[in-house]
Structure 1
Amino acid sequence: MPETSTLESRTEPATATAFAEIVRTASEPDPVPAVHPFRLKALPGGLIRNARPRQWVKNVLVLAAPGAAGMLTHAAVLRQVGIVFVLFCAAASAIYFLNDAMDVEADRAHPTKCHRPIASGVVPLPVAYLCAALLAGGAITGALLLCNTPTAIALGCYLVMQLLYCTGLKHILVVDLAFVTSGFLIRAMIGGLAAGIQLSQWFLITTGFAALFMVAAKRYSELVSMGDKAANSRKLLAQYSDSYLRFVWQASAAVTVLSYCLWSSDHTVGADVALRQISVLPFVFAILRYAIFADRGAAEAPENVALKDRPLLMLGAIWAGLYGFSVLGTA
């Protein structure tokens, strides 16, 4: 009998300890993924991934100004736009390296950004900063040698503004929206600057507010998808409300539609006004289609929405065809 009591007294504490360990483990939050040890073989792939080739689709906007002017059929213009596209890809990748290096701790707290090459340790911080400097310097030098001074100035302004954004301005309400929007606007302008094309005021207004629409929808989607953990990835999201960001993207969408309607009726821009007025229909429906993803909080990656949604691609193709035919006869 004493032996049985002794056995029970030894078993009960062990069982209680095991049960307590299970409860403690279940109640703990999921650990942040561990940083991988540096491996030289993985570095080239990590550098390419951190340059974000998928994001380069945004730089197709350098075609916007020459396309709006009907100048894409000129070989010299196409050559300049092609050069600017490559240079802007280099400049944008420089900012990606810099931003990821500075946000490494916040990215490690994000459920998907923690897998980025810098956050996961595949690309060391010193290498990231070196790549940012080389890409930025190469982009400016290339613009001076292969394009013209206005192009180099615009590219330099983009890099300076993005540097200011990364080093602190991204934490200021509304200012962050303005700086990200300006990046898209400079993309849309720089192709025209490189080709020596005069930029229309309607082109600038429409492009600027369309960019603000997408940026605000992106922030809104980040806030909705991350919920209470949004501030862990982007501190400023804790200060925004979903109702405010919804107001911004709705208002900017309305201004985009209005400005394009006015642009399509402008008789001073040298285009087939009738065709361009018809192009308002696919343009407006494309905005409405994109707004579906914004409303659902699914516009966190604008490039994915633009490239993967077939109805949106079809509307974009119809709009491009109508607008292209409207300017080809007067270019």
Structure 2
Amino acid sequence: MVSVGVAVAEPGVVAAVTRPLAQAVGVPLGLVRTARPRQWVKNVLVVAAPAAAGQLASRHTALQLGIVFVLFTAAAAAVYLVNDARDADADRAHPVKCRRPVAAGDVPVSVAYGTGGLLALGALTGAAVLCNALTAALLAAYLVMQLAYCLRLKHVLVVDLAVVTTGFVMRAMIGGVALGIPLSRWFLITTGFGALFMVAAKRYSEAVQMAGREGATRLLLTEYTTGYLRFVWQLAAGVAVLGYCLWALEHSGTWRQLSTIAFILAVLRYAVFADRGTAGAPEDVVLRDRPLAVIGLAWLAMYGMAVADL
């Protein structure tokens, strides 16, 4: 009679084999999560200037904007990686940010820094080769400004709001810069104050949600008052609406002028979440609120008909 033996691996041996495999899979996934895929929707703003100028029809424009979108996404991901590596200790004290891969220990700090540097270098090289020198310069300015924000400017009152707002404006500008499209003053005013509205609403929501936990995370929230932040987002919303209305009324065409109604309704709808203190994640508000999505589609339809001169 022949007996067949089955070898059973020791638990320690199994763990020693599976641990490196888990790390090999976990680190890349952690890097992707740190790059904030949900935030990439912000980079759709690269089409803003060509859309405002009514120049989205050609294949060349679509290809160039696709390239710019990828380059800006890489640059923004680089900033997120460096930011999370630098803020790992502070993020561990935050009820939500403690789950970020770097703060949770899933991605080593050195790997986050290294990957961020490579992405930044790749974005700048790609902009210089595939676009033009002005696009590369604008992207370089964005990276320098955002890295300065990570290192110091995030702790300076008002300047922190201005830097984050400027990042949105640069997103909206870069598509026009890459295609050589002039940027109107009303476009820049509406974009700038619209961005400030969302940034101040985000800070206000963070301040409301972290009430009673001051000092545990973003220190600047202890210096802002909720009343001041409310004033900022209300002021910015008013200027953004005024700028858009002046831009629309400056041009002939019924559809362009009617689009002001949808724009104002969108601002009012977003202000509901700002007032409640639940606009801490702007991408969630924009992507998940159905009435806001319907208003956005209505605005897009009216603006599209205005561009098509219908």
Shared fold (TM-score, shorter chain, > 0.5): yes
TM-score scaled by structure 1? 0.86
Q: Which residue of 2 aligns with 1:29?
A: none
Alignment counterpart, residue 170 of structure 2, candidates 178, 182, 186: 186
Q: Deviation string for 1:168-187 (max 9, x for gaps)?
A: 01100000000000000000
Cα distance in 2, alignment partners of residues 292 and 174 from structure 1: 23
Give, in angstroms, the shift of residue 230 of structure 1. Answer: 4.1
Cα distance in 1, alignment partners of residues 304 and 189 from structure 2: 20
Cα distance in 1, alignment partners of residues 177 and 217 from structure 2: 36
Cα distance in 2, alignment partners of residues 175 and 88 from structure 1: 22
Q: Deviation string for 1:231-263 (max 9, x for gaps)?
A: 322010000000000000000000011111100
Cα distance in 2, alignment partners of residues 259 and 231 from structure 1: 37
Is 1:306 equivalent to 2:252 in the alignment?
A: no
Unaligned stretches of 5+ in structure 2? 1-19
Cα distance in 2, alignment partners of residues 289 and 305 from structure 1: 10
**TM alignment of 1:143-154, pairs within 5 A:** 143-154=127-138
Cα distance in 1, alignment partners of residues 167 and 232 from structure 2: 18
Is 1:317 equivalent to 2:301 in the alignment?
A: no
Q: Which residue of 2 aligns with 1:33?
A: none
Alignment counterpart, residue 225 of structure 1, candidates 209, 227, 230: 209
CA RMSD of aligned residues (A): 1.5
Q: Which residue of 2 aligns with 1:110?
A: 94
Is 1:158 equivalent to 2:147 in the alignment?
A: no
Is 1:177 equivalent to 2:161 in the alignment?
A: yes
Give the residue type in structure 1 aligned to 2:162: A
Give the residue type in structure 2 aligned to 1:295: D
Q: Deviation string for 1:142-184 (max 9, x for gaps)?
A: 0001011111111011000001101101100000000000000
Divergent runs of 4+, >6 A: none
Is 1:281 equivalent to 2:299 in the alignment?
A: no
Q: Which residue of 2 aligns with 1:31?
A: none
**TM alignment of 1:45-64, pairs within 5 A:** 45-64=29-48
**TM alignment of 1:1-331, pairs within 5 A:** 39-267=23-251, 272-329=252-309
Q: Deviation string for 1:282-326 (max 9, x for gaps)?
A: 100000000000000000000000000000001011111111211
Q: Describe the SS at the equivalent of 1:245.
A: helix
Give the residue type in structure 2 aligned to 1:208: G
Give, in angstroms, the shift of residue 328 of structure 1. Answer: 2.4
Contact (CA 8 Å) 1:222, 1:230: kept in 2 or not? Answer: no
Q: Which range moved further: 208-217 or 68-77?
A: 68-77
Q: Describe the SS at the equivalent of 2:224.
A: coil
Cα distance in 1, alignment partners of residues 302 and 204 from structure 2: 32
Q: Describe the SS at the equivalent of 1:82.
A: helix
Give the residue type in structure 2 aligned to 1:289: R
Contact (CA 8 Å) 2:253, 2:309: kept in 1 or not? Answer: no
Contact (CA 8 Å) 2:43, 2:69: kept in 1 or not? Answer: yes
Q: Deviation string for 1:53-84 (max 9, x for gaps)?
A: 11100000001001111111111111111000
Q: Describe the SS at the equivalent of 1:229.
A: coil
Cα distance in 2, alignment partners of residues 328 and 136 from structure 1: 38
Cα distance in 2, alignment partners of residues 273 and 211 from structure 1: 26
Q: Percent identity?
A: 60
Give, in angstroms, the shift of residue 195 of structure 1. Answer: 1.1
Cα distance in 2, alignment partners of residues 97 and 48 from structure 1: 10
TM-score scaled by structure 2? 0.92
Cα distance in 2, alignment partners of residues 58 and 292 from structure 1: 21
Larger Rg: 1
Q: Which range moved further: 283-292 or 42-51?
A: 42-51
Cα distance in 1, alignment partners of residues 239 and 167 from structure 2: 19
Cα distance in 1, alignment partners of residues 201 and 124 from structure 2: 31
